[in-house]
Homo-oligomer: A and B are copies of this chain.
Amino acid sequence: MPVFLSTDDSDFEARFAALLAAKREDSVDVDDIVAGIIADVRTRGDAAVLELTKRFDRLALTAEAMRFSAAEIEAECAKVSPEDRAALELAAERIRAYHARQRPEDAMWEEPTGARLGWRWTPVTAAGLYVPGGLASYPSSVLMNAIPAQVAGVERLVICCPTPDGVVNPLVLLAAKISGVTEVYRIGGAQAIAALAYGTDTIAPVDKITGPGNAFVAAAKRRVFGRVGIDMIAGPSEILVIADRDNNPDWIALDLLSQAEHDESAQSILVTDDAGFGQAVVQAVEKRLETLERRAIAAPSWRDNGAVIVVRDLAEAARISNRVAPEHLELCVADPEGLSQQITHAGAIFLGQYTPEAIGDYIGGPNHVLPTARSARFSSGLSVLDFMKRTTLAQMTPAALRAIGPAAVRLATSESLQAHGLSVQARLDRLND
């Protein structure tokens, strides 16, 4: 049974704080191993990658065979059913349409002094997308990472997806193709991250690496951060559902389970203003768990990390949610739009009872790569901006320099940076001649 709290309980604050502080992630420390792998790939390049792929993925490759050929990609894509293909294409189209609206605007304006100021956005030149192999090899994640990069205008997009024992997921290759990615390598783990960051004879280095991965991949991304850009380090998935009594308990139960089935470390929280509805959802979850295919994962997740929190009113529900800062937030209430105005921290909000979170995972349009582990307090889901950067622009005229230059000279002097001051003063001296 998950914890069942009420904000009326005298020990609520302590128990809620414990829930917030609970560290769900099993933090295997692989940092030393990963440091060794990165050093090895930097030194020996392809040879190291091939050896490590043989060791970890039980797959003997040559440098030439690391990359899927165009024919191999075509052959794999042909295995996908027309129905799956159509679903992927619809998802891609919707994700592309949503992200196209995120393209940022350049700006340039002139001040009364004649000075011109502004900024300009440009895409990253090359981006690498990591796609896990095996069970967690999700074609939807390929779309969610590759399409924003493509919309941003990234010239070169590379995918690394390990194929343990040689097993390939045709849907991943089809998702890559639909996203316009033709450079796909069957390598994974820390060795793939190292190859993307530093390059090998076969794999040219990239500027930015995104995508989920296991502990080795996460540690490697953290280590190469600075050499290349990375997206967030994702933790276990989580959902918080705010629901009043006018909901179908079974729908809410399925929404909670759709996070719980990801991972034993995932967390599902229901916040409701009706204790009886909370009990009904708990029963509905138990009922669904009897037959759910992934109950061996979902049951311990719900039991160990799940929670039902009964609140006095929906305003309190919003405050509770803001302290959790959930990755996914469903507002299954009469006025979801109104309640959403009270939400200050959440990765994604799903409004109303006809918007199960799974819609956002696949087909809604917004990105499903979202901040976990309370990091919605300070970070956002993946977007087009993650594949672009902004260059600021400034152009002084003689009049502008005369107007503001003296203040720069004074501040430079106060910071004992004489050359800074002289670089302005020398120009002012000429202008004042």
- A315 adjacent to chain B (CB < 8 Å): no
Task: Write out the residue numbers on chain B whose beta carbons fall within 8 Å of the beta carbon of A373.
Answer: 226
What is the bound-complex CA distance between A378 and B228, given in angstroms?
7
A214 within 8 A of B: no
Identify the stretch in A10-18, A57-65, A187-195, A258-266 within 8 Å (CB) of chain B at 4 or more residues: A258-266
B362 near A391: Cβ-Cβ < 8 Å: no
The chain B residue sitting closest to A388, CB to CB, is: B380
Report the minimum CB–CB distance from A53 to chain B (whole Å): 24
Task: Determine if A238 is an interface residue (Cβ-Cβ < 8 Å).
Answer: no
Q: Are A347 and B427 in contact (CB under 8 A)?
A: no
Within 126-160 of A, Cβ neighbours of B (below 8 Å) are at 135, 138-140
* Nearest opposing residue in chain B for A105, CB measure: B105
Contact B412 A348 (CB under 8 A): no
A345 within 8 A of B: yes
Decide if B396 touches A355 in the complex (CB within 8 Å).
Answer: yes
**Is A246's beta carbon under 8 Å from chain B?**
no
**A349 interface contact, C-beta 8 A:** yes
Encode contact with B along A394-405: 1 for CB under 8 Å, 0 otherwise: 111110110011
Asked if A75 is at the interface of the complex by the 8 Å CB criterion, the answer is: no
Contact A117 B366 (CB under 8 A): yes
Chain A, residues 182-200, CB within 8 Å of chain B (1/0): the string is 0000000000000000000
Is A255 an interface residue, CB under 8 A from the partner?
yes
Residues of B within 8 A of A68 (CB): none
Q: How far is the CA of A134 from the CA of B102 in the complex (A)?
A: 42
Contact B426 A250 (CB under 8 A): yes
Cβ proximity bits A351-362 to B, threshold 8 Å, 1 near / 0 not: 111111111111
How far is the CB of A115 from the nearest CB of chain B, in Å? 8
Q: Does A20 belong to the interface (CB within 8 Å)? A: no
A389 close to B394 (CB less than 8 A): no
Q: How many residues of A contact B (CB 8 A)?
A: 123
Q: Tell me, yes or no, whether A375 is within 8 Å of chain B by CB.
A: yes
- Chain A, range 362-378, C-beta contacts under 8 Å to B: 362-367, 370-371, 373, 375-378
Q: Does A418 interact with chain B (Cβ within 8 Å)?
A: yes
Min CB gap A385→B, angstroms: 8
Q: Are B340 and A411 in contact (CB under 8 A)?
A: no
Query: Contact at A345–B411, with CB atoms within 8 Å?
Result: no
Q: Is the CB of B363 within 8 A of A261?
A: no
A287 close to chain B: CB less than 8 A: no
Q: Is the CB of A378 within 8 A of B383?
A: no
Interface string of A79-110 (1 = CB under 8 A from B): 00001101110110010001001100001010
Is A251 engaged at the interface, CB distance under 8 Å to the other chain?
A: yes
Interchain CB contact under 8 A, B258 and A375: no
Query: 20 more A-B contacts (CB under 8 A) besides A117-B365, A208-B378, A363-B404?
Result: A88-B411, A117-B366, A122-B344, A125-B344, A139-B415, A207-B378, A226-B375, A250-B426, A254-B423, A343-B391, A347-B391, A348-B391, A348-B393, A351-B395, A353-B427, A356-B424, A358-B420, A361-B420, A366-B392, A367-B392
**What 10 pairs across the A-B complex have the smallest Cβ distances?**
A229-B378, A351-B395, A366-B392, A254-B423, A87-B407, A358-B420, A257-B419, A356-B423, A380-B390, A87-B410
